[in-house]
Amino acid sequence: MGIKKGSPGKGGESRPDSFSYTGVAAGLKGSFTAWLAGEPYWCDEAHEHTDLDKGTKPCLHWITDGALKCARCRKGRPVKCIGWVPLYRELDHKPIVVIVHESAGSLLSGLRHPVTVTVGRIGATDSVFVRRSDTQLTLKSENPARLSPVDITGDLLQMWQLPELNEWLRYKGSSPRVKCEQVADGSKWRLSVPPPTNDNERAAIDAHKRDDTADTAGIDDALGRAQRRAKHAERNGHHKPQGGES
């Protein structure tokens, strides 16, 4: 007696992928081919992984436009422009994310889903590079989610493991897969706090960015009013997207 049979693409995998970070081995032998899955996510200011501070993560002060203080900044950790690039690895079609530095960012310029790319790094201290492959392969998948560019914001929030950022997003009334807003030059993304509308709010936000501690209650109150005002406007259909400056 025969039993029911399925086929790839008809079961649980026919859903948005879950992307995870993948390291890239040094040396050209460690290079591999992949398809670009979506737009790279760039942070103008990010802190790299160290033995003391695990994981490469965005600067909390930068990504929230000063609404949150960054513990790594207080430790004097340097910041760099870092990009997270979503890919489908050609070898096994696994959805992955690799980290590149600004120095290799020009190789990504103009590349769009689902272009075929080569991923690698020359030496252990060099940036990972993602460049257009000399050979272009067709991305074939039974998963319909792969036929369009992906937004990896939700995956990044899980990778970064920054509870302060997640709580700040919830406080703002944002969804777990909130989309960061695009800045004017069209190449980078960031989150921003609602702008002040009066001198008191403006002074309080400036003091918050300077890490003043004399009147934290007043600062937090002003920030809270600004965020509640934006949330109220959004509910009433009058919200205007606020792009941060890079």
Confidence of residue 157 (pLDDT cuts 50, 70, 90): very high
Confidence of residue 244 (pLDDT cuts 50, 70, 90): very low
What letter does residue 32 receive in the DSSP assignment?
Answer: E
Higher pLDDT, 71 or 181: 71
Q: Give residue 134's pLDDT.
A: 95
- CA distances from residue 202 to 24, 164, 195 in whole angstroms, order as listed: 44, 23, 8
For the ranges 81-85, 153-157, 179-183, which has the lowest average pLDDT?
179-183
What letter does residue 147 receive in the DSSP assignment?
Answer: G
Q: Give residue 245's pLDDT.
A: 35
Q: Give residue 17's pLDDT.
A: 85
d(CA 88, CA 82): 20
Output the pTM of the full model: 0.66
Task: Give the tokens for residue 187.
Answer: 């190449």
Higher pLDDT, 74 or 172: 74
Domain layout of the chain by residue ranges: 20-182, 195-235
Confidence of residue 220 (pLDDT cuts 50, 70, 90): low
Quick check: 47 pLDDT over 60?
Answer: yes
Average pLDDT over residues 28-47: 95
The residues with which 56 forms a beta bridge, in sequence order, are none
Q: Give residue 148's pLDDT.
A: 93
Average pLDDT over residues 93-101: 96
d(CA 126, CA 169): 34
Say how many CA atoms lie within 13 Å of 42 toward its Cβ: 19
For the ranges 56-60, 77-81, 171-175, which has the lowest average pLDDT?
171-175
Instruction: Of 210, 157, 142, give the one whose Cα is nearest residue 41.
Output: 157
Q: What is the pLDDT of residues 188-209, one digit of tens each?
A: 444 444 555 566 656 655 655 5
Alpha-carbon torsion, ordered 166, 16, 33, 185, to 10 deg: -50
Q: Give residue 16's pLDDT.
A: 73
CB 43 within 8 A of CB 82: yes
Question: With 0-12 CB in 10 A as exposed, 13-18 as middle and 19+ as buried, what is 162?
Answer: buried
Task: Give the tokens for residue 34.
Answer: 């992949």
- Backbone dihedral region of 109: left (phi > 0), alpha (psi from -120 to 50 degrees) or beta? beta
Tell me what percent of the residues of the chain surpass a pLDDT of 90.
55
Higher pLDDT, 17 or 197: 17
Confidence of residue 55 (pLDDT cuts 50, 70, 90): very high
- Backbone dihedral region of 144: left (phi > 0), alpha (psi from -120 to 50 degrees) or beta? alpha
Q: Give residue 229's pLDDT.
A: 62
Q: What is the pLDDT of residues 113-130, one digit of tens each?
A: 999 999 999 999 999 999
